[in-house]
Amino acid sequence: MNIIEFMDDPQLVGDQFINDSWDAWKALLAGFYNLNTDATKYYTLTKLRPSASDFRELWLVIGRRGGKSNISALLAVYEAIFNNHKDNLSRGEIATIMVIASDRKQARTVFRYISALISESPILSQMLVKESTDTIELNNRCVIEVTTASLKSTRGYSVACAILDEIAFWNSDGANPDKEILQALRPSLATLDGKLIALSSPYAKRGVLWNTFKGYFGNNDSDRILVAQAPSLLMNPSLDQRIVEQAKRDDPSSARAEYDAQFRTDIETFVSDDVVERCTRSSPLELGFQRNTPYVGFVDPSGGSADAFTLSIAHIEKGKVIIDLVHAIKPPFSPEQATGELCDILHNYRVVCVHGDAYAGEWPREQFRKNKIDYIRIKKPKSELYKNLLPLLNSENIELPPSEQLTRELLNLERRTSRGGRDTIDHPVGFHDDLINAVAGVAEVTKTTGAPTPIKVRFCY
144-166 pLDDT, tens digit per residue, is 999 888 776 666 688 999 999 99
d(CA 310, CA 324): 14
Choose between 23 and 188: higher pLDDT: 23
> By three-state DSSP, how is residue 104 classified?
helix
Q: What is 273-449's CATH number, 3.30.390.50, 3.40.1640.10, 3.40.47.10, 3.30.420.240?
A: 3.30.420.240
Which class for 384: exposed (0-12), middle (13-18), buried (19 or more C-beta within 10 A)?
Answer: middle
Angle between helix axes 434-449 and 404-412 (nearest 10 degrees) is: 90
What is the CATH number that goes with domain 3-265?
3.40.50.300
Contact 310, 434 (CB under 8 A): yes
Helices (H), 349-418: 363-370, 382-394, 404-412
**What is the pLDDT at residue 267?**
79
Average pLDDT score over residue span 317-332: 94
Q: What is the pLDDT of residues 244-273, one digit of tens each?
A: 999 988 888 889 999 999 998 877 788 888
**What is the pLDDT at residue 153?**
67
Residues 6+ away with beta carbon under 8 Å from 37: 26, 27, 28, 30, 31, 50
**What is the pLDDT at residue 269?**
81
Residues 6+ away with beta carbon under 8 Å from 215: none
Domain ranges of the chain: 3-265, 273-449
d(CA 116, CA 73): 9
pLDDT band at 431 (very low <50, low <70, confident <90, very high): confident
CA quadruple 169, 170, 175, 177: dihedral sign: negative
> By three-state DSSP, how is residue 142 classified?
strand
Q: Is the pLDDT of residue 58 over 70?
A: yes
Answer yes or no: same fold for 3-265 and 273-449: no
Q: Which long-range contacts (CB under 8 A, 24 or more apart) does 169-173 make?
A: 169/102, 169/200, 169/201, 169/203, 169/430, 170/102, 171/102, 171/103, 171/428, 171/430, 171/431, 172/148
Give backbone dihedrals phi and psi of 70, rounded to 5 degrees, phi first.
-65, -40
Element (H, E) at 232: helix 232-235
Angle between helix axes 23-32 and 68-82 (nearest 10 degrees) is: 40
Closest alpha carbon to 313 in 333, 294, 331, 339: 294
